[in-house]
Structure 1
């Protein structure tokens, strides 16, 4: 049984972040995270009524061990204080709103893991707004599209996570499309073992991936992408403006990878975020690759003790059907 952090453990780091006269009066562990713990800490005192604490303790990570994975690989698990701070700095410099960092600590003086205390953006998620107030959500989608324009128009000849490039390292691989193909072939092999429907057409799916990859032309510039931007990773602040969260995977990559994920997660609202000039060959390859990833990944997560099992099974089930639908009719 996992033992998550408690009020007493968080009090020291929160009081250090907010200053004298602050007392922690309650802690809620927020649902949804699979790589880090996210806690809303309620305080009594002259400062904010609540803050958010990110904890990168090992017990908070539900994913199976990732031994042997190159940490500089663009698809390596993006988690930790260093990638978080690198992404926060880059987006803040661009004027893309992210939670303000009140304290970041990797010294483990007051808390036994890397930790960050950030502002609590109290307006809920864009996902909730899409359900409850479509009129306001339409304006929010326009704002999100503008934020994405700013990000995607940042160019680099190198691809890779921001923290990797900042420290002067080079990401693995020879091209974005080759990395996507290699990952997709691995996901296909894994999904074929776990899902009989995928297994029954593994060879045609393998051939289709190779065929789609062969259509992609080389590219020299890459845009800045969030990498996992669904409406649940966009908060709405008290003024109605948007704030991006779960930013650790921020990287330079083909922007089509972002747009495929946006299309899946935003569904019928995606046209508000779509942009001209996207490469259709990349979109075709990346869509099949993404579908296979969303079969293999959730099933891999469920090898462990991740508590929210039904939604993960639903994601795998849905994406298995969609992957099969991408095979050409014989």
Structure 2
């Protein structure tokens, strides 16, 4: 049985972050995370009525067994305070709106894991706003698009994390398209062992991946991408600005990788984020690779005790259908 944070675990941490006069009155663990716990902590006696706590404790990580591929590469899962702070510094320096950090601690004295206390952005997610107030959401989408333009225009000659080199920021000389192909082939092999429909189409999917990759030409510059920029990873502040969260995967990479994810997650709202000049051949390869990743990842999570099991099955099923639809 997993043990999550409760009022007693958070009281000292919140006092250190918000002041000695504050008192924790309620704690809600927010749903959706698979590698860190996210808690809304409601308080009395502080200027803000609530704060958000991130905990990177092992109890919060729902990935069973081997939880990553590409050891040392940009697709290696990252978790912890250091990559969060590195990504936040980079984004803040480029003018992107990210939550303010009220306390960050990896000493394990306040809590037996990396932990951060950040502002509780008041306006909810862009995903919810798109449903409840499309007119207001359109302005937030415009702000998000401007932020994405800045990030994607921040070019580097090599892909990889923005961390210092000693934290894994350097990348190999393998081009992005080859990295994506190799990852997709591994996803295909794993999914074939878990889902009979993937196994039945395994040869055709493998040939399609190789064919699409062969059409991609080399590239020498890579933009800065969020990595999982869906509307659920964008909050809305009181000024109507788009606030980026779940930023630990920030990296320099082909911007087409991000645009495939944006198109998938924003659906009919994607035109506000679409841009001319994207490489259609990269988009084709990355779309199939992304769908295969979103089949394999949820199926792997289902090996463990992740609570949102119906949602995971739904993600895997949707992306399986989309992957098979891309076969000629």
Q: Normalising by structure 1, what TM-score?
A: 0.96
The alpha-carbon deviation at position 239 of structure 1 amounts to 1.9
Per-residue Cα deviation, 1:75-118 (whole angstroms, up to 9, x for no partner): 11122111100000010111100000011000011111100000
Q: Distance in 1 between matches of 2:175 and 2:241?
A: 35
- List 4+ stretches of structure 1 deviating above 6 A: none
Q: Distance in 2 between matches of 1:168 and 1:9?
A: 32
Pair 1:15 & 2:9 matched: no
The alpha-carbon deviation at position 46 of structure 1 amounts to 3.3
Q: Distance in 2 between matches of 1:277 and 1:291?
A: 23
Q: Distance in 2 between matches of 1:71 and 1:187?
A: 15
1:30 paired residue number:
30
Q: Distance in 2 between matches of 1:61 and 1:106?
A: 17
Moved more, 221-230 or 136-145: 136-145
The alpha-carbon deviation at position 169 of structure 1 amounts to 4.5
Per-residue Cα deviation, 1:43-69 (whole angstroms, up to 9, x for no partner): 111321100000000000000133785
2:292 paired residue number:
292
Cα contact 1:72–1:169 (8 A) shared by 2: no
1:144 paired residue number:
144
Residue aligned with 2:42, SS: strand
Residue aligned with 1:158, SS: coil
Residue aligned with 1:75, SS: coil
2:321 paired residue number:
321
CA distance 1:306–1:82, shift in 2 (3 Å): same
CA distance 1:278–1:165, shift in 2 (3 Å): farther
Please list every run of 5 or more consecutive structure 2 residues that lacks an aligned counterpart in the other structure. none
Cα contact 1:70–1:76 (8 A) shared by 2: yes
CA distance 1:68–1:49, shift in 2 (3 Å): closer
Q: Distance in 2 between matches of 1:138 and 1:67?
A: 36
Q: Distance in 1 between matches of 2:33 and 2:94?
A: 26
2:206 paired residue number:
206
Residue aligned with 1:162, SS: coil
Residue aligned with 2:289, SS: helix
Residue aligned with 2:109, SS: coil
Per-residue Cα deviation, 1:134-160 (whole angstroms, up to 9, x for no partner): 111111111111010010000101111
CA distance 1:239–1:68, shift in 2 (3 Å): closer
Cα contact 1:99–1:243 (8 A) shared by 2: yes
Please list every run of 5 or more consecutive structure 1 residues that lacks an aligned counterpart in the other structure. none
2:56 paired residue number:
56
Residue aligned with 1:218, SS: coil
Per-residue Cα deviation, 1:4-63 (whole angstroms, up to 9, x for no partner): 111111111111111221111111111111110000111111321100000000000000
Per-residue Cα deviation, 1:248-303 (whole angstroms, up to 9, x for no partner): 00000000000000000001111110001100110000000000001011000110
1:279 paired residue number:
279
CA distance 1:165–1:130, shift in 2 (3 Å): farther
1:159-198 superposed matches below 5 A? 159-163=159-163, 165=165, 167=167, 169-172=169-172, 174-198=174-198
Q: Distance in 1 between matches of 2:323 and 2:120?
A: 38
2:42 paired residue number:
42
Cα contact 2:87–2:248 (8 A) shared by 1: yes
1:117-156 superposed matches below 5 A? 117-156=117-156
Q: Distance in 1 between matches of 2:68 and 2:271?
A: 40
CA distance 1:68–1:252, shift in 2 (3 Å): closer
CA distance 1:90–1:13, shift in 2 (3 Å): same
Q: How many residues align?
A: 328
Q: Distance in 1 between matches of 2:71 and 2:19?
A: 36
1:52-131 superposed matches below 5 A? 52-66=52-66, 71-131=71-131
Q: Distance in 2 between matches of 1:179 and 1:266?
A: 25
Q: Normalising by structure 2, what TM-score?
A: 0.97
Cα contact 2:72–2:168 (8 A) shared by 1: no
Residue aligned with 2:142, SS: helix
Residue aligned with 2:128, SS: helix
CA distance 1:68–1:234, shift in 2 (3 Å): closer
The alpha-carbon deviation at position 172 of structure 1 amounts to 3.9
